[in-house]
Amino acid sequence: MPPILNRLWRRVRTTVAPVPDISATLWLETLQRYPFLAALSLHDQSKLRALSALFLHHKQFHGAHGMEVTDAMAIDIAAQACLPLLHWGDPAKALAWYDDFVGIVLHPGEAVARRKTMDEAGVVHEHDQVLLGEAMDRGPIMLSWEHASNGRENTERGTNVVVHEFVHKLDMRNKGEPNGCPPLPAGFMGTRTGRGAYEAWWNAWEPAYEDFREAVIKAERFGAEMPWLDAYGATSPSEFFAVACEAYFVNRTRFTQEFPGLVPVLDAFFTRPKEVR
């Protein structure tokens, strides 16, 4: 590591000590597995390494169905989970956005959850739902390792289950159900009030969501070309936010082509320090 980055690493580490280092070997292997992490500047890679080390210090990994979670696997998850917080200032304050849970459960592949839903007539129906991941409000995060570890193919497709579930945690910081708009600071995008911040957010997101939802409906019902962004984002505004963030972080070039109106909004949200609520 160049001397200037060594100094940066030591300076960042002083804000999070005592936290065990992530070994240089394991860290470089993680970067090599995920093109969107390798594409970060050396400065940002060093910041992400320190943030990931602190994340690992406070979280507990569990393997489902007898799966053994190795150090390398945990580091891979930590780096992806911390990417949305990279530019949020002090590492401890940034990670406070994830302080409502400790456990991260890794399944070898897809998980199947038994769900109950009630129709308009009040009849309860049970069904199985296949999950690649799930973020539970004030509870753990579940991830499919098969899908979380497929870095190169996922980068091309603009998908990332780790980013998806962890930005759900940001959305859950709102009071009530997640709605696709995480808590915003006053002054967001040059606005003067909290209300103005939310208006600026929805002015960009509502038309983007409606256009995307319409495109998915045309593809599914009438044979039009399916949009590049994961169609699961059309199921609700909160899922559209999570799916959009996946693509924004792992394939920004294609995301910018598809959703130019959302890029400045996500830039404003993810590149300024903010206090947890």
Q: What is the pLDDT of residue 110?
A: 72
Q: What is the pLDDT of residue 115?
A: 46
Domain 175-277 has CATH 3.40.390.10: yes
Using a pLDDT cut of 70, give the percent of the chain over it. 83
- 1-172 fold: Cyclin A; domain 1 (1.10.472)
Identical fold between 1-172 and 175-277: no
Low-confidence ranges of the chain (pLDDT < 50): 16-17, 115, 125, 128
Contact 232, 243 (CB under 8 A): yes
- Tell me the domain boundaries of the chain: 1-172, 175-277
